[in-house]
């Protein structure tokens, strides 16, 4: 029975690592820039607090700079008018639209989905996000695209309500990476993969350590068991 179990584990491991190859801390950090400069215009990341971005390896200083750059709704002014204030680390990355109706009104009736878990809830995960972001092309001859829709080879209907968000040079990276469309899409996908599974690397490390520990312990207990049972 034991070799069977071990073999089952060995078979699982490569599948686990293959599951999400778009994943690298530098890429995810650059993806934050893509999100901040482009995606966040329409989308939200409403379950992520700015402080959570420390998980991407951002320093406290970088987080505070980012927070200072984000405006959120503040308390009403003395005469009841809405105000804004600079965000702090416990603020979430909410949508800029105050409600669903105004978000739809600004987007041809379509509601930009929240991106917190999108790499998990959309089939294909980060890969799908990458192909979607790079899937905009001119429609083939004879295909008509309705108003407010765009041709995208990566969707089922080949139509999507989101206008092409990325292009060469659409983002400014502060690490000097050349912002090509493919680079931006890859980084955005890596960032959203992080958002959907923020403890992935710690999880894998813990899983590896736990199994290694239990394997050693199982060996020791097995030796003990053999000694005890040699008496009967």
Partner 1 sequence: MTPATRLDLDPDQAPEPATGSWLERRLPVGRALRREYRDYPLPRNLNALWFFGAFAVVTLAAMIVTGICLALHYTPTEAGAFDSVEAIIRRVPSGWILRSVHMAGASCFFAVLYVHIFRGLYYGSYKAPREVLWLSGFVALLMVMATAFFGYVLPWGQMSYWGAVVVGNAVAAIPLIGHPLAGMLLGGDAPGAATPMRFFVLHMLCGGLICAVLFIHIAALHVTGSNNPAGIEPRSPADTLPMHPFYTTKDGVGLCLFLAVLLGLAFLAPALLTEADNYLPANPLLTPPDITPEWYFTPFYALLRSVPSRLGGLLLAGAALAVVAAVPWLDRAPTRSARFRPLARPAWFAMAASFLLLGLAGSHEATGFWLWLGRLAGLYWFLHFLVLLPLIARIERPLPLPTSLA
Going by the annotation, the residues of the binding site for heme c are: 39, 42-43, 162
Which 3-state string (H, E, C) describes 212-232?
A: HHHHHHHHHHHHHHHHHHCCC
Rounded distance between C-alpha atoms, residue 102 and residue 96, angstroms: 10
* Minimum separation from the CB atom of position 44 to partner 1 (A): 12
Site membership for partner 1, residue 18 (CB under 8 A): no
Region from 36-44, 45-53, 101-109, 181-189 binding partner 1, contact rule CB under 8 A:
45-53
Site membership for partner 1, residue 225 (CB under 8 A): yes
Site membership for partner 1, residue 201 (CB under 8 A): no
Site membership for partner 1, residue 19 (CB under 8 A): yes
Region from 27-35, 130-138, 147-155, 210-218 binding partner 1, contact rule CB under 8 A:
210-218
Bridge partners, residue 71, by sequence:
86
166/196 with CB nearer partner 1 = 196
* Minimum separation from the CB atom of position 149 to partner 1 (A): 21
Q: 45: part of which helix (H) or strand (E)?
A: strand 45-49
Q: Is 160 helix (H, G, I), strand (E, B) or coil?
A: strand
Instruction: Give strand ranges (E) for 52-202.
Output: 71-73, 84-86, 92-93, 150-151, 159-160
Rounded distance between C-alpha atoms, residue 160 and residue 163, angstroms: 8
DSSP per residue over 64-102, as a string?
A: HHHHHT-EEE----TTS---EEE--TT-EE--SSSSHHH
Instruction: Burial-class residue 191 by CB neighbours within 10 Å (0-12, 13-18, 19+).
Output: buried
9/86 with CB nearer partner 1 = 9
Site membership for partner 1, residue 222 (CB under 8 A): yes
Pick from 44, 116, 134, 152: which binds partner 1 (CB under 8 A)? 116
Contacts with 2 (C-beta within 8 Å, 6 or more apart), sequence order: none
Site membership for partner 1, residue 10 (CB under 8 A): no
Q: Token pair for residue 99?
A: 């409600």
Site membership for partner 1, residue 196 (CB under 8 A): yes
Region from 33-41, 94-102, 175-183, 193-201 binding partner 1, contact rule CB under 8 A:
193-201
Q: Which residues bind partner 1 (CB under 8 A)?
A: 1-2, 5, 9, 12-13, 15-16, 19, 47-49, 51-52, 116-117, 120-121, 123, 196, 198-199, 203-204, 206-208, 210-211, 214-215, 217-218, 221-222, 224-225, 228-229, 232
């Amino acid at each position: 029975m034991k070799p069977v179990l071990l073999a089952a584990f060995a078979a699982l491991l490569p599948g686990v690592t293959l599951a999400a190859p778009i994943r690298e801390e530098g890429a995810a950090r650059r993806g934050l820039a893509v999100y901040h400069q482009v995606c966040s215009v329409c989308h939200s990341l409403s379950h992520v607090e700015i402080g959570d971005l420390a998980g991407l390896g951002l320093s406290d200083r970088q987080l505070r700079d980012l927070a200072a750059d984000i405006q959120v709704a503040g308390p009403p002014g003395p005469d009841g008018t809405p105000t804004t204030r600079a965000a702090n680390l416990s603020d979430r990355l909410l949508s800029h639209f105050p409600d669903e109706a105004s978000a739809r009104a600004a987007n041809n009736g379509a509601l930009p989905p929240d991106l917190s878990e999108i790499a998990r809830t959309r089939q294909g995960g980060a890969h799908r996000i990458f192909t979607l972001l790079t899937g905009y092309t001119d429609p083939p001859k004879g295909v008509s695209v309705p108003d407010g829709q765009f041709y995208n080879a990566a969707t089922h209907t080949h139509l999507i309500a989101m206008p092409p968000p990325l292009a060469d040079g659409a983002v400014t990276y502060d690490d000097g990476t050349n912002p090509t469309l493919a680079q931006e899409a890859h980084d955005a996908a890596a960032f959203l993969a992080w958002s959907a599974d923020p403890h992935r690397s710690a999880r894998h490390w813990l899983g590896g350590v736990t199994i290694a520990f239990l394997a050693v312990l199982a060996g020791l207990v097995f030796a003990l068991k053999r000694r005890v049972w040699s008496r009967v």
